[in-house]
């Protein structure tokens, strides 16, 4: 199975790669799509400013490959801003379009008493229906580092939610074999590793089988 970690210069790729390898996924790290055969799994981390991440991602040349991958419903994992750029856009960078995989706009936390950014451990709540969360209690704790969030809504496939600064937001989004987390599973100790192992197990279970001749 061919798994590619997209290294477009705007993500914590070293920690993500280490955690996924520990979870059982052999990865190839790629800065450009040049020479890549069709991957079975794509991983897109991201951290920093929405506009800068989108610019780095577009300049990397990966956008057509990612869109084709998602259209084919092959396993995909987005992390932190790698989740946010799947939306239509963000208040952090007005006028900069996201990928539009999910409808909606990423919002900024507004609070007079909670510190922004939201940084540290918080509860992740889920209803137990997602296979990605098998073996994880509700709630479990995960590590967050962000100032912007995706509001929960009826049009989003929200697999898990978290509350901070008076706002309930999507901490995990799913769509087919697409998974995206607002928190950092690579920094979330046992819970994060359990989630990554579940992702890897699902990817292995759904990998294409060679045609018989």
> Which residues are known to be catalytic?
80, 184, 186
Report CA Rg, the chain.
16
Please state which CATH class domain 3-205 belongs to.
alpha beta
Alpha carbons 163 and 161: distance in angstroms, whole number? 7
Taking the domains of the chain in order of start, what are their residue ranges?
A: 3-205
Q: What is the pLDDT of residue 213?
A: 52
The answer for residues whose C-beta is within 8 angstroms of residue 13's C-beta and 6 or more apart is: 5, 7, 29, 45
pTM of the model: 0.94
> What is the structure's pLDDT at 208?
63
SS3 content of the chain, % helix, strand, coil (to 5): 25, 30, 45
Going residue by residue through the chain, which has 213 residues, state the pLDDT in tens, using 9 for 90 and above. Answer: 899 999 988 778 999 999 999 999 999 999 999 988 899 999 999 889 999 999 999 999 999 999 999 999 999 999 999 999 999 999 999 999 999 999 999 999 998 889 999 999 999 999 999 999 999 999 999 999 999 999 998 778 789 999 999 999 999 999 999 999 999 999 999 999 999 999 999 999 877 655 545
Quote the pLDDT of residue 157. 78
């Amino acid at each position: 199975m061919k798994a590619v970690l997209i290294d477009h210069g705007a993500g914590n790729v070293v920690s993500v790669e280490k955690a996924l390898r520990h979870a059982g996924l052999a990865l190839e790290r790629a800065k450009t799509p040049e020479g890549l055969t069709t991957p079975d799994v794509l991983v897109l981390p991201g951290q920093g400013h929405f506009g800068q991440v989108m610019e780095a991602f577009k300049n990397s040349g990966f956008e057509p490959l990612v869109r084709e991958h998602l259209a084919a419903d092959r396993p995909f994992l987005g992390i932190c801003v790698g989740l946010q750029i799947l939306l239509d856009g963000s208040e952090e960078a007005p006028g900069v379009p996201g990928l539009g995989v999910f409808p909606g706009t990423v919002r900024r936390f507004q609070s007079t008493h909670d510190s922004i950014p939201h940084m540290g451990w918080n509860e992740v709540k889920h209803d137990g229906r997602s296979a990605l969360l098998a073996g994880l209690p509700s709630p479990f704790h995960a590590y967050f580092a962000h100032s912007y969030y995706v509001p929960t809504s009826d049009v989003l496939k929200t697999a898990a939610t978290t509350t901070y600064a008076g706002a309930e937001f999507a901490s995990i989004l799913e769509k087919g074999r697409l998974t995206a987390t607002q928190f950092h599973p690579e920094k979330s100790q046992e819970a994060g590793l359990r989630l990554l192992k579940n992702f890897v197990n699902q990817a292995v279970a759904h990998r294409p089988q060679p045609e018989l001749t």
